[in-house]
Amino acid sequence: MVSRKARSIAACLAVFMLAAIILAGCGVKSGGQASTDADGSAPGAAAEVPDESDPVPVPAGPEEGQLPDEDKGSGDSGEARTTETGGASSDQAPAGTSAQEDENGITIPVINIEKKPIPDNEALAFVKEMKAGWNLGNTFDAVDVAGLSNKLDYEKAWVGVRTTEAVAIAVKNAGFNTIRIPVSWHNHVSGDDYKIDEDWLDRVQEVVDYAVKQNLYIIINIHHDMGKEYIYPSREYMEQSSRYVKSIWSQVAERFKDYDRHLIFESLNEPRLVGHKNEWWPDPNDKDIKEAVECLNELNQIFVDTVRSTGGNNKDRYLMVPGYAAAFAGAAHPDFRMPSDTADNRMILSVHAYTPYNFALQEGGVRTFDINRSSSTNEIDYFMDLLYDSFISRGIPVVIGEFGARNKNDNLQDRVNFTAYYVASASARGITCIWWDNHSFTGGGELFGLLDRRYYRWRYPEIVEAMMKYAQ
């Protein structure tokens, strides 16, 4: 990432009093690359909702899937609005030229980013087929909820609604080709061998099957199981971590070994030293981080070897692995290695990037994104070039398994601008992006929700439209 210098608060207030539109210039500016970001984190640090994040408020309303008589919560229609914007092409107008306005006055900007040469191999073609994706977030990844009489209720503990087949249908009909289903396991295992509860694995499979019926690509993983009790990438905890990874993936891989290539396994979600001073920043000068990266290399290798050993379609299934904290800087750490594999060209690098952090994830931060200002786009260009140069140009595909921009006081046009630029930039480099949807729409938290799963309606269809317009 790059450093930022804040403009004078007084200047911003003065500009605000003159005209609200000038607020777009009162954010923060990018300068040269520096050692830390404005919030004190280092460049390249992962920026996902931490494992310990509070669950979103349970939405009030009818039972799952029940349509209300009258929904007064949003002016959105029950299905995504379509705008005749056309697809991205090499002869597009300069960035900043707007496509047709929708009924709310929101425009999908026209982005012109030169496409980089993409090596011709099967894995990169496979990732291109994935097109664009959506996360079933805060659902099967919910953890450590007190007072549940039935462990299957974890699925709705953070979002207030069970997943139905209509969710997969809505995702497919919106144009997505991929759904990521994060799964946490530690509240559903028993014994020293971490035996998974049959009911939990059955329910995960049931929802996977919803997506299979829609011909979607599906990603499942080990999600919020990071910590010293289960997975902690240090030598002190390596024996336990190795057993946990091997046990979970032995059982999951065996259950799904007959599924075709549309099902993708992702080894770990943001593996890191939870609680460490550099939990989210893979400082190359920190000996603890160096050890953690080496341990992660071994855990990723255990994952690959375990999956391959189960046979069936797992012998050459596509597999995703992250670097430290799934940060792009973790993948760029000098000690990170992609695992060796008995299958040819079946490995995908997994990265999470809520970038630029001050706009996409930081509470407060800035709420404007201007595709014609380097202060908005520099960090995206920087990290995507790094991924292209280090991996894609060498024939290794990359999937950004989590990205997004939280709602900040109804800054929808800026979120659309961000989404269009981010996805267009990724597509130009052969990268597929998957939006993080935590089903959160109101309140002061991290509002990444797009699909209201109570009514199967897209609250912000313009963001979806921007993804579809520029997805590779």
Residue numbers annotated as active site: 223, 270, 402
Q: Helix or strand or coil: residue 221?
A: strand
Angle of helix 412-428 relative to helix 461-470, nearest 10 degrees?
Answer: 20
Tell me, what amino acid is at 133?
G
Q: How many CA atoms lie within 13 A of 170 on its CB side?
A: 24
| Residues 428, 113 contacting (CB under 8 angstroms) | yes
Those residues with Cβ within 8 angstroms of residue 36's Cβ, 6 or more apart along the chain or in another chain: 3, 42, 43
Nearest to 429 by CA among 467, 381, 360: 381
CA distance 375 to 4: 8
Tell me, what amino acid is at 271?
P
Q: Which residues does residue 227 pair with via DSSP β-bridges, in sequence order?
A: none
CA distance 83 to 165: 27
| Residues 291, 245 contacting (CB under 8 angstroms) | no
Query: Position of tokens 């040819």?
Result: 344
Angle of helix 412-428 relative to helix 374-390, nearest 10 degrees?
Answer: 30
Nearest to 428 by CA among 375, 394, 387: 387
Q: Helix or strand or coil: residue 99?
A: strand
- For CA atoms 161, 166, 168, 171, the dihedral sign is negative
Angle of helix 238-256 relative to helix 198-213, nearest 10 degrees?
Answer: 50
Those residues with Cβ within 8 angstroms of residue 69's Cβ, 6 or more apart along the chain or in another chain: none
| Residues 333, 282 contacting (CB under 8 angstroms) | yes
Q: Is 107 exposed, middle or buried (0-12, 13-18, 19+ CB in 10 A)?
A: buried
Q: Are strands 4-6 and 28-30 parallel, antiparallel or unpaired?
A: antiparallel
